[in-house]
Structure formats: C-alpha cells, structure tokens
Chain A
Amino acid sequence: MADNGKQHPPHRGDMTGAKALWATLANHGISTVFGYPGGAIMPVYDALTFYPEVRHVLTRHEQGAAHAAEGWAKATGEIGVCMATSGPGATNLVTGLADAMLDSVPLLAITGNVASHLMGTDAFQEADITGITLPITKHNYVVRDVEDLPRIVAEAIRIARSGRPGPVLVDIPKDIQLAAFHGEIPAPHARPEAPAPSPESIERALELLRGAKKPVIMAGGGSLDASAEITSLARAWDIPVITTLMGLGAFPSSDPLWLGMPGMHGSVAANRAISEADVLLGIGLRFDDRVTGRVNGFAPNAAIIHVELDAAEIGKIIRTHVPVRGDARQAAQLLVEGAQPTPRPEWKAQIEEWKSRTVTPETYGAGYAVKAVVDRLRPDDILSSDVGQHQMLAAQLARFEKPRRWINSGGLGTMGFGLPAAIGAGMAEPGVRSVVIAGDGGFQMTAQELATLKMYDVRNVKICIINNSFLGMVRQWQELFHEKRYSEVWLGDSNPDFIKLADAYDVPGYRATTAEELPAAIDAWLSDPKSALLEVVVPHEHGVFPMVPAGAALYEMIETEPVRSPDLSAQMQDAAEEASEA
C-alpha cells in the first residue's frame, strides 16, 4: 500500500466522540473504511490520524465508497464500512444502502451531520439522512449524546451482521464528534446463534422429499455460507440443484447435479425443472419476481419447502407447504442425516435432455466475449459484474466452484456497482484476482473510481468493458417489446476512448475488436502486473437468451435469440439523420 501521508501522532489521549468512534471500530476488527470527507465529519477525519490501524480508502464518490464496502462484505462475509459527510455526502450513499438492503449485505454507514442545535433548521448541508434511509436500512440511529456513541456503533454492527444481514446507518452530529467522551469502549457483541429449525418442520420436509419423484433444490444468496452442507445434501439425496443469481457458487458448477440459474435469464434446465418439479426445496431465498416469473405459474405442480431465516420471507410471495424457519446450514445438515436416495431414472433423463439445450455463444458478440473471459478465471478469482446484458451473460456462462466468488447487484440492479465493488473485494483479498465485467454504459457511472486504483496502487483489479455502444439491456427490451423504437439508448457517438481514459489514471489498457484479437488481448490484460482494463468492442446487436418476458411464467421462456432484422447501426444512422433534418 502506498503511503497516503497519514501522520501517526504519539498519543491518543483526550478521548472525543470522534476518537471513540475509531476506537470502537478498531475494537471490532474493522481494518478498512471506504469514505469521503466533508465539513460535518471533519472531526472524525481528524481523529483518524490517531488510528493508523484502520485504513481509510478515499473513493471518488460516496456511491463508490458504499459499493466498495459492499464488495468487501460480499467477498469476505464480514461487515463493510463506509463513511460520508452530511447532506450531499450522505445522500450519495443512498443507492449503495438500498442495494445492500435488497441483497442482505452487512454494511455500516457512518455519516456526519450538522451540529445538534442546527438539526431541523435547514442548516448548510443538512439532510435528514435517517429519515431518507429509513426504508432502505435495517435500522438507523442519530447519536444524541456522546456517551452513547460507542454503544450505538457496537449495536449497529451487531444488527447489521445478525439474522438476515443488512445495512445500518449511524448519523453523528458534529458537536457529538467533538464532545469529550468519558466512558468505556465496548467489546464486540458475540454473534447471536441462528435459530435452529424445528424438528417437526424438518420431519415434514423429509417426508415430502422421500415421496418426491421430481425433486429439485433451489439455493439463494442466503445459502452461501451453507454451501458445504447443501452440496452434501444434494449428493446424499441425488437431487439436482439450481442456484439463483445471488446463490451462484453455493453449489459447485462442475457437479453434474447443477442445473444453472433460474428466472428471467435462467437456463433451460433450471426453468423447466422448476416448472415440472413435484417438490421444490428452496434454501435461503426470497422468490424475487425475476426468479419466479408469473407467480401463479411458478412451480405449478410442486409442494414447496422453504428454508429461510427471515420469517417474513416465508409465504410472502409463494405459499409454502413446509416452512422451515432457521439457519440454512443446520437445516441442510439435518436433511442430510435423514437422506434416503431413491433412484429416479426418468427425472434424471429428462434433466439431461434439458441440460443439453444449453446455449453456448458461437458467433462473436457480447456472449462470446464474456465466455472467453470467464473461461479464463481460476477458482479463487472473484468475479464482479455491473448491471445489464453482460451481467446476465456472466451469470449464465461463468462457473463457480466456491461461494463468495461472484459479486453483483441482484435485488436493486444498480448500474455503476461493478467497478467499486471489485475494488472493495480486491482490497479485501489482495492476493486474489478481482475481475469485473461491465458494460460501456454502467462503467461510466462510477468510472472515476479508476483514481482509487491509482491512489492505492491496487494491483489485482481487472476491468473488462463489453462495449456494444448501447445501453444493451434496455435496447433488448425495446427490440422485443417496443417495436424497436430505440429511445435514448445509443452511446456509440459519445463514448470516450476507454483506453485513453484508463491511461489518464495510469491504468494500462488493452482492446480487442474481433474474435481473433480476443485471446491475445485477454492474455496480455490478465498477465499485466498492474490492475488493467480490457475493452472488448462487440457488435451492437446482441441479445441475452433464454429469456422469460416480464409477466410470463417460467415455462413460457424464449429459449434462443429470435431472428432479427439486419443492420441495427444503419437504422440508428437513419434515425439520427431524420432527427437532424426535422
């Protein structure tokens, strides 16, 4: 790590609220905080200089700080911490908090605020951030008495990590940061035990599984830490496994029992298996609408067993026959113990047939490029993505042997997530390659974080931009559902030269524009000792298939790309000419 000019003063005496904050974070083993300073949080930044054991990473935008903290948390399973000043700094965190809320990411956000006596007066840079973030945090606090500060921060960390994880925000007025603190710095709370599933519910689940002729397991983001148990469960019962977008890696992709991802861009095998199954065992998931498609067409023949920690998720979307409320790990373990594998040759044969319908991109395009990149990943590599077609392609084509190697924005679908998240993950595991696939659109939402790479001399972040000159995913929907009226999705005329952009930040750049150039470019990019950027220029028109249209049932999926009318770019040209004539 580069010396970022931190001074290390000799003593820490005169405890203030700000110092108590850092002491509490340090006591909790927080080693890295992503943030951005400002007037209302200056005492905290001043006190930081007394705590060299906590590294502060200066991002270039608070949204970058929040996503970097998320990337950290998703890769490690530990809490990520971000920090911002009041008003505009705090509101810039909002997207990251909403993202963490929907994807159950443990996150602690610290915001400064104007002095207590100014709060509520529309003071300079005042925003009611606890009010604003109320629906997108698990809980939030305003610290009103400095003596409460460390206790609140410790409690915030406990809440963020316990049960179903999520973001917690602590807002600290400036006078509280400066006030003298006399209390004790609390030790971390013990992590509460996850509730054990009830024996009756396990018994009921076993009963259903024993009688099942066409069973299928579906594992979500809440099952990542139960990956070993789920793997034994599937193998012991010989039941095929589907992993959701958030659950990719919960079950090894190389296992013949793996069917891929379900839902809107799910695999043929996964979606057909759900539609035909007689018992569906869902573990650690929330039946998101992108997963279920039309709800009353979801698993229409199946009895549903739902293993879930969060009671509110059970029965929220899909009526459950056997709710198993509790820890995924314990539940899977108990289900292994009761295993009674039954041969189901017909079901297996059916599944093999569906699996053979997997589409591999053969002609040069976004899918081809994504496949070429993900095929080069090693099992330890962390793969992040931004949001769009490239994300769905990566989710379809990448193979994960382990959990917590796939980092993306599932619930909120946040463009701009990829680069900062990959930086956070890369900083959490500096010995591991942190690869990010982004689109030309989303990359530009947080491209300024290239500066963070430069500033900290991060060497393991590999950025791949799939440049199709379009907001590809929106274009695909316009093509399919809006009679090709390509409204406001063309980026081709205004995209920067991505290589020059990277160069401006001292990040080496590589480019491929054809299938022939691709392998050498990937090699050069991955073997560069520094963090590097690869731009893959692909044809403009390329869809992601299979696809279940919004509002349709999973069994109504379109399996392969429909034949398209030729030459999209010519159309765009015409449209541009017409517009300029008018």
Chain B
Amino acid sequence: MTEVRDHLLSILVRDEPRVLTRITALFGRRGYNIKSLSVGSTEHPGVSRMTIVVSGDRGVVEQAIRQLEKLHDVIKIIDHSLEKYVDRELVLVKVAITPESRVEVRQIAEDFRSRIVDVGRHALTFEVTGDEGKITAFIEQMRPFGILETMRTGRIALTRGSNADIPTHVYHEGETQALQPTLEVQPREERARHVPNLF
C-alpha cells in the first residue's frame, strides 16, 4: 500500500453557482476526505481558485483528480506534489494570559514574527501566517499557556517560478485535458493486494 499522506491540489474553476457544491459533493460521494478547503477569486474574471488538501494514498488522489477533471466547471487542476510550490495558511490564535505569562507569550509571538491583532484583559489574539510546520510549531509553543480558540483559513498554494497556473484561454470549447495515465506496470501479486474490496 502506498502511504497515506496529505496532497495539496489547486483547482481552477468557473465562477458559477453551485461550483463549490459540485466539487465537495464529488469528494463526499466518493469518500475522499477533505482536510482543508479555501476558495478565492483570481486575477481572471470568472475564474476562482480552490486549494484543497486531501488525504489518501496516491491512487485515491489520482482518482479524485480524474473525477474532478470530468466536471464541466473545472478548468485546471494542479497537483502540487508534482512540482515545487509555496504554501501558506493564516491562523488566528487566542491565548490565555496571566500577569506572569504575558511577557513570555509576547516573546514567543515575536520569535514567530506573529502580530497581535487583539488585546484582552485575560487573552491575546495572534495572527500567524506560514507553512504548516511553522503554524504547528507556534500552536505547540502556545499550548502550555492555554489556547482559548483558533481559526485557520486552510492552506493556499502557488507553483514556484514565473509561470502562471491559469491558462490564458480558459473558456475553451473542448474538454479539459484529462490526465494521461502513467504507463506503469505493477507485478500481479502487488495488484491483487491493492485493489479495494468493494463488497
């Protein structure tokens, strides 16, 4: 079994009613687990961009991509595991403070280049952006003081380099280009062990 891990997908979609439902319904119906989802508009009118973190083995992710490719609303899918990318997440973290811990909490936040966005008598709210590792580390550092609430936006990603992900001609007439399947041969015994049991 290939390992189960998180896969980061960017999905460029036509900005039309129900598109979010279509995408999430597809994941739901086929039993793929969405770990995070963020959606926003792009520099191209009529095109929105979603970043979806889906966990599963390679086969699940490939199947999810191919099913997504078939949706009429989907313009392009980028599987970030296939190239270099930058990703970020924004998190708001509300940490409990006491007169004694106040300074230490602020110091940690400074180390993480985190900003204070709200100051209360018994709590401070921080804004942290970064990749997953940084955010996890921040939360772990703050945990002993007492985390009251957190809200994460979900991860967003872009391919590194100067190429733009969005094809210039997005409202094309034809089908979206479906993936060319890999010509990979697996030994027969392997195969038998890997097939999902449908019953």
Show the binding face of A for B, using Cβ within 8 Å.
130-131, 134-135, 138-139, 142, 159, 162-164, 189, 192, 198, 200-201, 204, 289, 294-296, 300-301, 303, 310-312, 314-323, 325, 550-551
CB distance from B43 to the nearest CB of A (A): 25
Chain B residues packing against A (C-beta within 8 Å): 17-18, 21-22, 25, 29, 59, 62-63, 66-67, 69-73, 173-175, 178-183, 185-186, 188, 191-199
Give the residue of A310, A316, A322, A550 whose beta carbon is less than 8 angstroms from that of B199: A550
Please measure, in the bound complex, the distance between the C-alpha atom of A159 and the C-alpha atom of B186, giving whole angstroms. Answer: 35
Contact B72 A317 (CB under 8 A): no
Instruction: Tell me the bound Cα distance from A138 to B70 in angstroms.
Output: 8
B72 touches A139 (CB 8 A): yes
Told that A300-B188, A301-B188, A312-B70 touch, could you supply 7 new A-B pairs with CB distance under 8 A? A131-B18, A139-B73, A163-B70, A311-B66, A315-B62, A319-B186, A319-B194
Q: Which of B72, B179, B180, B197 touches A198 (beta carbons < 8 Å)? A: B180
The interface residues of chain A lying within 8 Å CB-to-CB of B188 are 300-301, 303
Ordered nearest first, which 4 A-B pairs have the shortest CB separation? Answer: A312-B66, A323-B181, A311-B178, A139-B72
Given contacts A131-B18, A135-B25, A295-B196, contact A321 B63 (CB under 8 A): no
29 contacts between A and B (CB under 8 A): A130-B18, A134-B25, A135-B25, A139-B72, A139-B73, A162-B175, A198-B180, A294-B197, A294-B199, A295-B195, A295-B198, A310-B70, A310-B178, A311-B66, A311-B69, A311-B180, A312-B66, A314-B181, A315-B59, A315-B63, A317-B196, A317-B198, A321-B185, A321-B186, A322-B183, A322-B185, A323-B182, A325-B180, A551-B199
By the criterion CB–CB under 8 Å, are A296 and B192 in contact? yes
Contact of A192 with B175 at beta-carbon distance under 8 Å, contacts A138-B72, A142-B17, A312-B70 already known: yes
Contact partner of B181 among A189, A303, A315, CB < 8 A? A315
CB distance from A476 to the nearest CB of B (A): 19
Asked if B63 and A312 sit within 8 Å, CB to CB, the answer is yes
Given contact pairs A130-B18, A135-B29, A296 touches B183 in the complex (Cβ within 8 A): no
Most chain A CB inside 10 Å of its own CB: which residue of B21, B67, B72, B181: B181
Are B21 and A200 in contact, CB atoms less than 8 angstroms apart? no
The listed residue (B21, B62, B66, B173) touching A189 by CB distance below 8 A is: B173
Residue on B with the closest CB to A203? B183
Q: Tell me which residues across on chain A come within 8 A of B69, comparing CB atoms.
A: 311-312
Contact between chains at B181 and A325 (CB < 8 Å): yes
User: Contacts A315-B62, A315-B181: A192 and B174 contacting too (C-beta < 8 A)?
Assistant: yes
| Interchain nearest-CB distance for B172 vs A (Å) | 11
Contacts of B63 in A (CB 8 A): 312, 315-316
Interchain CB contact under 8 A, A131 and B195: no
Query: In the complex the two chains form, is B195's CB within 8 Å of A163's CB?
Result: no
Query: B183 CB to closest chain A CB, in angstroms?
Result: 6
Smallest CB separation, A466 vs chain B (Å): 30
Q: Within 8 Å CB of B179, what residues of A?
A: 311
Minimum Cβ distance to chain A for residue B16 (Å): 9
Q: Chain A contacts of B175 at CB under 8 A? A: 162-163, 192
A-B contact count (CB 8 A): 87
Task: Decide yes or no: A201 and B59 within 8 Å by CB, A189-B173, A295-B198, A312-B69 being known contacts.
Answer: no
Give B64's nearest chain A residue, CB to CB.
A312
Known contacts A296-B195, A550-B199; A201 and B178 CB within 8 A of each other? no
A294 (CB) vs chain B CBs: closest residue: B199
| A residues in contact with B198, CB < 8 Å | 289, 295, 317
**Bound-state Cα–Cα, A312 to B64, Å:** 8
What residues of chain A lie closer than 8 Å to B196, measured between beta carbons?
Answer: 295, 317
Alpha-carbon distance A192/B192, docked complex (angstroms):
37
Instruction: For B72, give the chain A residue with the smallest CB separation.
Output: A139
Complex Cα gap A37–B67 (Å): 35
In the complex, chain A residues whose CB is within 8 Å of the CB of B195: 295-296, 317-319
Q: Once bound together, how far apart are the Cα atoms of A76 and B192, in whole Å?
A: 39
Q: How far is the CB of A481 from chain B (nearest CB, A)?
A: 13
Structural contact, B183 and A204, CB atoms closer than 8 A: yes
In the complex, which residues of chain B have a beta carbon less than 8 angstroms from the beta carbon of A315?
59, 62-63, 181
Q: Which residues of B contact A138 (CB under 8 A)?
A: 70, 72
Contacts of A139 in B (CB 8 A): 71-73
How far is the CB of B194 from the nearest CB of chain A, in Å? Answer: 6
How far, in whole Å, are A329 and B180 apart by their CA atoms in the complex? 18
Which chain A residues lie closer than 8 Å to B183 at the CB level? 200-201, 204, 322-323
Q: Closest CB of chain A to B20's CB: distance in Å? A: 12
Q: Check A134 against B21 for contact (C-beta < 8 Å).
A: yes
Of chain B, the residue at the smallest CB distance from A194 is B175
Kindly provide the distance from the CB of B102 to the nearest chain A CB, expressed in whole angstroms. Answer: 50
How far is A323 from B195 in the complex, measured between Cα atoms in Å? 16
Chain B residues with CB below 8 A from A198, complex form: 180
Contact A311 B181 (CB under 8 A): yes
Residues on A with beta carbons closer than 8 Å to the beta carbon of B181: 311, 314-315, 320, 323, 325
Q: Nearest Cβ distance between residue A444 and chain B, in whole angstroms?
A: 31
Q: How far does the alpha carbon of A317 sit from the alpha carbon of B63 in the complex, in Å?
A: 10
Chain A, residue nearest B62 (CB): A315
Considering only CB atoms, which chain A residue lies closest to B70 in the complex? A312
Residue on B nearest A550 in the bound complex, by CB: B199
**B191: chain A residues within 8 A (beta carbon):** 319
Chain B residues lying within 8 Å of A319, measured Cβ to Cβ, are 186, 191, 194-195
A550 and B199 CA atoms in complex are apart in Å by 8
Query: Would you give the shortest CB distance from A294 to chain B, in whole angstroms?
Result: 7
CB-nearest residue of chain B relative to A297? B192
Residue of B nearest to A301 (CB): B188
* Chain A residue, CB-CB nearest to B26: A135
User: Chain B: which residue is nearest A323 at the CB level?
Assistant: B181
Contact A312–B67 (Cβ < 8 Å)? yes
Query: Known: A135-B29, A139-B72, A200-B183. Contact between A300 and B192, CB under 8 A?
Result: yes
Task: Report the separation of the CA atoms of residues A300 and B192 in the bound assembly, to the nearest whole angstrom.
Answer: 8
- Give min CB distance, A66 to chain B, whole Å: 21
A305 to chain B, nearest CB (A): 11
Nearest chain-B residue to A314 (Cβ)?
Answer: B181
Among A130, A200, A289, A315, chain B packs the most CB atoms within 10 A around the CB of A315
Query: Is A131 in contact with B62, judged by CB distance below 8 angstroms?
Result: no
Which residues from B are CB-within-8-Å of A162? 175
Across the interface, do B72 and A159 meet the contact criterion of CB distance under 8 Å? yes
- Give bound CA distance, A204 to B71, whole Å: 30
- Chain A's closest residue to B185 (CB) is A321
Most chain B CB neighbours (cut-off 10 Å) among A135, A138, A311: A311
Q: Which of the residues A289, A296, A300, A325 comes within 8 Å of B178, measured between beta carbons?
A: A325
Nearest chain B CB to A196 CB, angstrom units = 12
User: Please, which residues of chain A bring their CB within 8 A of the CB of B199?
Assistant: 289, 294, 550-551
A500 vs chain B, min Cβ distance (A): 44
Q: B197: which A residues are within 8 A, CB to CB?
A: 294-296
Q: Kindly state the separation between the CA atoms of A170 and B25 in the bound complex, as whole angstroms.
A: 19
